[in-house]
Each structure stands twice: as structure tokens, then as C-alpha cells.
């Protein structure tokens, strides 16, 4: 043979892509009613891109579900709509506002929208009878996630039991569930934040503009820069000023902080991520800061 093994090398990004596409196809083949949880953030955009590739030239054979906190960034919703329209995929919006009105969840004024998403999401999954829900979670994000399976089992109450996880060997995924249970599927388990950016750079697909450096009116709270917004009134001596910032994650805008940055292209973002010294969650997500086990607790309740 004239060709050697070196000619058949696949870059790590291509390997991750192949592994994730394999997962998407397994789920589409084995589950009755899958759904893709789509926030419009960079990880869920990568997810949608992978799903697009997995089934091309056919359309993605499942709908996308967005949990609308009511406090989402308009730029993110715009990108979400563009993607959904381009792919011709059905979108279901589960609204936290609606869930509050329907008394599915209780807004006591103290609970964050992020936490209210849990009940809203679980209600939507139950209502529609979804048996598998794709999430964009990555194991590099946080310690509790580092041990979560690609196929992560949820009981009748949507809860995760970290001590009772199924062994996951080779690339043989076990999708057996009983009625009322569902599976969370994490095709990006082995991706890191840097991989996500490398992939977005390689694919050149649309992402929300707020990931790039821009001028924004912000104020400081708990050491984070938060966006000025009608949903987020300033308190006490918090003062609004204009800064050059970008967002590293896009969640509930009352909790998601931005960082000062001049990175206005994906290339510059990659440079910045490569030398960042604080994890994206630690830097900009108020909801993960309260305790070292914050994520584990929310996951057990049924968080993404």
C-alpha cells in the first residue's frame, strides 16, 4: 500500500465532531421522542451545527426547545430565530413567565430565573412526552459535570442521581428508560471551551453578537459587570458606566456578567480564551458562585 497511517490522521476537532455526530445518530435511532435544548448560546449553536451535519441532507429529525427566562438578551433571541429558520426545525418555547402564571413554578421574588428554569423545563419535557433531551453541557465546565455520563439518566422527577450512574463503556450507549423517565444527552461532553471556539472559527457560523467586544452600559455587582436593563434595576451605590465588554456565556441577563475585552473577532476570542485564568462559569455566572457544590445541587434537581 502506498499510503501510510499518517495519511489517515484526523485532527482532534474532527474526532470530537465524529464522536458527537455518532451520539446524535444513536439517539435519533433509539429514542421515540428526542428534543434539543437550545439557548442560542455558543454551545447550543455547536450542538445545532452537529445535528445539522449528522442528518444532512435530511432535516434534523427532532424539535428544539428553548426555555425563555423572560430575561434573555435580545441579540441571543435574534440568533436563535435565524438558526431555527435556516434549518427549518420546529421550535418549542417554554416560558418561565407562563410557568409562573400557570403556577407550575413559584416566583417568590428571591429565586433566580435560572432556578425557575428547572421547573419550567421539566414541565415542558413532561407535557410533550420527550424521552431524550440533548443538552450542551461539557465536562470541563465544572467538577460535578466531570463525572456525568454522555447518556445521563433522569428519574420520574427529572432528578439526577450521581451515585447511581450507569457504567458507560466504549461508545456503546444504553438508552433504556421506563415510562415517565427521560435521558439527558450530552454530545459535547469531551469538548472544552477552547474546542468550542476552535470549532466555531472553523465552521464560520452565526453566533450572537454579544460574544464579541462591544460598547455597553454596565454596572458592577459582586465583582461582575452586569448589563443595564429594565429587568435589573441598580441598587444603592451601583453606578452605570460605559465599557468595552463581551460576554463569555449568555444566560439570564440579570445574572450573567460580561468581561472587559477588545476581542472583536473569533480569532481574538481564541487568543483571549487560551490565556484566560478564570473559568467561564466562575467569571460570569452568578448562579454558580454560591457554593462549591452549587452545580451539583441544581443538576440533581433536573437542571441542564
Partner 1 sequence: MASNTETTEPTLEDLGVGQMDLLRFATAGSVDDGKSTLIGRLLLDSKAIFSDQLEAVEATSQSKGYDYTDLALLTDGLRSEREQGITIDVAYRYFATPRRKFIIADTPGHVQYTRNMVTGASTADLGLVLVDARQGLTEQSRRHAVILSLLRVPHMVLAVNKMDLVDYDQAVYDRISREFTAFATKLSIPDLEIIPISALKGDNVVTRSEHMPWYQGSSLMHHLENVHVASDRDLIDARLPVQYVVRPKSDEFHDYRGYAGQLAGGVLKPGDEVVVLPSGMTSKIAGIDLFDREITEAYPPMSVTVRLEDDVDVSRGDMIARVNNAPQASQDIDAMVCWMTNEPLHPRQKLAIKHTTRTGRALVKDIQYRLDINTLHRDQETKELGLNEIGRVQLRTTVPLLCDSYSKNRTTGSFILIDEATGVTVGGGMII
Q: Report the alpha-carbon distance of residue 192 to residue 190 in Å, rounded.
A: 7
179 binds partner 1 (CB under 8 A): no
Q: Is 193 helix (H, G, I), strand (E, B) or coil?
A: helix
Four-point Cα dihedral 195, 201, 203, 207, nearest 10: 100
Name which of residues 240 to 259 contact partner 1 (CB under 8 A): 244
* Least distance to partner 1, CB of residue 37, Å: 21
Name which of residues 143 to 172 contact partner 1 (CB under 8 A): 143-147, 162-163, 165-172
202 binds partner 1 (CB under 8 A): yes
Name which of residues 39 to 68 contact partner 1 (CB under 8 A): 52-59
192 binds partner 1 (CB under 8 A): yes
Specify the stretch interacting with partner 1 by CB under 8 A; choose among 68-76, 112-120, 121-129, 190-198. 190-198
Q: Report the alpha-carbon distance of residue 18 to residue 13 in Å, rounded.
A: 9
Q: Report the alpha-carbon distance of residue 132 to residue 140 in Å, rounded.
A: 22
Which of 198, 216, 248, 298 is the binder for partner 1 (CB under 8 A)?
198
* Least distance to partner 1, CB of residue 174, Å: 5
Q: Report the alpha-carbon distance of residue 175 to residue 29 in Å, rounded.
A: 10
Name which of residues 285 to 304 contact partner 1 (CB under 8 A): 292-293, 296
Provide Rg for the chain, Cα atoms.
Answer: 19
17 binds partner 1 (CB under 8 A): yes
Residue 248 burial (C-beta neighbours within 10 Å; 0-12, 13-18, 19+): buried
Look-up: residue for cell 435530511? 58
Which of 139, 182, 248, 298 is the binder for partner 1 (CB under 8 A)?
139
222 binds partner 1 (CB under 8 A): no
* Least distance to partner 1, CB of residue 220, Å: 18
* Least distance to partner 1, CB of residue 249, Å: 14
Cis before 57 (ω within 30): yes
Q: Which is nearer to partner 1, 12 or 111 (CB)?
A: 12
CB distance 62 to 28 below 8 Å: yes
CB distance 170 to 221 below 8 Å: no
Amino acid at each position: 500500500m502506498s499510503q501510510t497511517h499518517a495519511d489517515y490522521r484526523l485532527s482532534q476537532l474532527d474526532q470530537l465532531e465524529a464522536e458527537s455526530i455518532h451520539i446524535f445518530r444513536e439517539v435519533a435511532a433509539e429514542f421515540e421522542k428526542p428534543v434539543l435544548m437550545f439557548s442560542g448560546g455558543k454551545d447550543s449553536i455547536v450542538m445545532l451545527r452537529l445535528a445539522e451535519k449528522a442528518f444532512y441532507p435530511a432535516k434534523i429529525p427532532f424539535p428544539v426547545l428553548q426555555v425563555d427566562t423572560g430575561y434573555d438578551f435580545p441579540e441571543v433571541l435574534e440568533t436563535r430565530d435565524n438558526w431555527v429558520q435556516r434549518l427549518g426545525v420546529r421550535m418549542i418555547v417554554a416560558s418561565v413567565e407562563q410557568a409562573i402564571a400557570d403556577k407550575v413554578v413559584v416566583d417568590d421574588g428571591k429565586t433566580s430565573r435560572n432556578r425557575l428554569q428547572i421547573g419550567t423545563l421539566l414541565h415542558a419535557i413532561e407535557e410533550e412526552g420527550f424521552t431524550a433531551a440533548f443538552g450542551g453541557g461539557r465536562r470541563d465546565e465544572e467538577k460535578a459535570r466531570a463525572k456525568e455520563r454522555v447518556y445521563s439518566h433522569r428519574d420520574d422527577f427529572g432528578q439526577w442521581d450521581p451515585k447511581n450512574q450507569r457504567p458507560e463503556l466504549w461508545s456503546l450507549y444504553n438508552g433504556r428508560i421506563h415510562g415517565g423517565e427521560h435521558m439527558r444527552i450530552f454530545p459535547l461532553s469531551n469538548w472544552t471551551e477552547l474546542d468550542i471556539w476552535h470549532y466555531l472559527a472553523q465552521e464560520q457560523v452565526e453566533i450572537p453578537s454579544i460574544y464579541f467586544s462591544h460598547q455597553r452600559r454596565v454596572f458592577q455587582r459582586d465583582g461582575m459587570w452586569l448589563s443595564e436593563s429594565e429587568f435589573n434595576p441598580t441598587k444603592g451605590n451601583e453606578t452605570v458606566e460605559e465599557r468595552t465588554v463581551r460576554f463569555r456565556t449568555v444566560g439570564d441577563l440579570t445574572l450573567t456578567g460580561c468581561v472587559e475585552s477588545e476581542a472583536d473577532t473569533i480569532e481574538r476570542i481564541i487568543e483571549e480564551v487560551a490565556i484566560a485564568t478564570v473559568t467561564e462559569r466562575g467569571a460570569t455566572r452568578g448562579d454558580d458562585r454560591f457554593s462549591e457544590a452549587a452545580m451539583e445541587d441544581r443538576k440533581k434537581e433536573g437542571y441542564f
